[in-house]
Amino acid sequence: MNEVLFTNIAQLVTPGAGVQRGAAMRELTVIPDAALLVSGGVIRWVGDRAQAPGTPHEHDLGGVAVVPGLVDPHTHAVWAGDRLADFEARVQGVPYEELLARGGGIRSSMRATGAAGVAELVNLARPRLQALHASGATTVEVKSGYGLDFGAELRMLEAVRALQADFALVPTLLIHVPPTEGRAKYVQAVCNELIPDVAQAGLASAVDVFCEKEAFTARETRAIFRAARAHGLPFKLHADQFHAIGGTELACELGALSVDHLEASGPAQIAALAGSGTVATILPGVTLHLGLPAAPGRALIDAGGAVAVGTDLNPGSSPVFSTALALALAVRLCRLTPAEALTAATVNAAAALGLSDRGALVPGQRADFLALQGPDWRELPYVLGGNPVREVWVGGQR
């Protein structure tokens, strides 16, 4: 086990390990002139440089701030085709939901993705994942959901599996939009064929559903969650993006890992999330790109909820290729404090994926950390557009 002491850290900043709720999201530990001991990919010791244990191998980080690697808990990084015509139409006033209802939007990405093979999907996704990684993401969730049929869904998940050789990825089976005809049969087949097949092949770590007027109802969502549970898979939800139609309450009742979006959530949904163990994942890139209301991040934390933040990287609602930018937007658009945003993008984002072994710089956690460009960690929530991250370390390796 090769042991390395990372030194010349101007400031080491971390939330506590594990999910943080409410005011605890603001409680960061800040250690000036710190050192970090890593062996076997795991953090062994963290503290004041003057008290560091001796070791033959030292690595000088150059006098910058160090924070935990970011976890991006919500992306659709595998897709083919583009949504550039949609974008042009939208900025001239055609709503996102109307494009979808007309058979465009998500459905156009499904046609292009359904026609692509695994190797093509891998080649398309790789540079997107590289961009997220360079922005500080050391673990990234990736969803399926642009499959026209079950074969295409499996190809998307196989592409994610292939990319796991190069990135720490968490694959999710997303049941995205129903077919225009025969939706009852489709939901049945999802429950009786697709979920069992995916679970059997170990191709996904969780099941997600898009619960929305233009997608699945709360009743259909319940049936899909039941099937996921029956096959040993945790579940999560896209809910309250445009309309609050009961998905958030259902997900909290059934113990979902997370509910994501929440732009249209009101007091009832905030109370349901705050009173449950389900993480509220906000996606401020969607607010920016679609001009939607912002998710009530401030109110969720004030109510005692656990908030996470992600890019939602996808071609239609959030072409955001930087996890650090999502963190920075959560401060501007959803009124998180910089400290809360760091917690949202690290330990809480890990909790949204069911992971408790990463996101904090404390002994026993994975040695995933970022050396920032300068000595003050607040550059991370501050910078927009530039990259505040100089070096990305995963399991103690660059």
**Site of interaction with Fe ion (CB under 5 A):** 312
Burial profile 295-311: b = 16 or more Cβ within 10 angstroms, e = fewer? bbbebbbebebbbbbbb
Element (H, E) at 66: strand 58-68
Least Cβ distance, residue 99 to ligand NIG (angstroms): 9
Q: Which is nearer to ligand NIG, 269 or 314 (CB)?
A: 314
Q: Which residues bind ligand NIG (CB under 6 A)?
A: 76, 105-106, 109, 210, 238, 241, 286, 312, 314-317
> Of 289, 292, 281, nearest to 251 (Cα)?
281
Q: How far is the CB of 68 from ligand NIG (least distance, A)?
A: 25
Total Cβ atoms within 10 A of residue 340: 29
Q: Residue 154 in contact with residue 116, Cβ under 8 Å?
A: no
Residue 16, classified by CB atoms within 10 Å of its CB into exposed (0-12), middle (13-18) or buried (19+), is middle
Q: Please, which residue, 141 or 368, has the CB nearer to ligand NIG?
A: 141
Which of ligand NIG, Fe ion, none does residue 19 bind to, with CB < 5 to 8 Å depending on kind? none
Closer CB to Fe ion, residue 31 or residue 273? 273
Q: Which does 241 bind (CB under 5 to 8 A by kind): Fe ion, ligand NIG, none?
A: ligand NIG
Return the number of the residue (172 or 343) whose C-beta is nearest ligand NIG. Answer: 172
We find the least distance from the C-beta atom of residue 144 to ligand NIG, in angstroms, to be: 12
User: CB of 11 within 8 A of CB of 34?
Assistant: yes
CB closer to Fe ion, 249 vs 312: 312
312 labelled ligand-binding: yes
133/238 with CB nearer ligand NIG: 238
76 assigned to a ligand binding site: yes
> Would the annotation count 57 as a binding residue?
no
83 among annotated binding-site residues:
yes
- What residue number has its CB nearest to ligand NIG? 316
> In angstroms, what is the minimal distance from the CB of 314 to Fe ion?
6
Task: Determine the residue type at 273.
Answer: L
Six-digit token pair at 284? 């401020």
Q: How far apart are CA 251 and CA 207, in angstroms?
A: 12
CB under 5 to 8 A by kind: which of ligand NIG, Fe ion, none does 106 bind? ligand NIG
Output the smallest distance, CB 176 to ligand NIG, in A: 6
Residue 37 vs 157, nearer CB to ligand NIG:
157
For the bound state, the minimum distance from the C-beta of residue 54 to Fe ion, rounded and expressed in Å, comes to 48
- Both tokens assigned to 370: 């970022």
Q: Please state, in angstroms and rounded to a whole number, the distance separating the CA atoms of residues 389 and 372.
A: 4
Tokens of 201: 């092949």
**Which run of H or E residues covers position 60?**
strand 58-68
**Binding partner of residue 147 among Fe ion, ligand NIG, none, CB cut-off 5 to 8 Å per kind:** none
Sign of the torsion formed by the C-alpha atoms of 40, 44, 49 and 50 = negative
Residue labelled with tokens 């509220």:
280
Q: Which single residue is written with the structure tokens 């963290």?
A: 46
Distance of closest approach, residue 210 Cβ to Fe ion, in angstroms: 7
Which residues are documented as binding site for N-formimidoyl-L-glutamate? Answer: 146, 314, 316
Which residues are documented as binding site? Answer: 74, 76, 83, 146, 176, 238, 241, 312, 314, 316-317
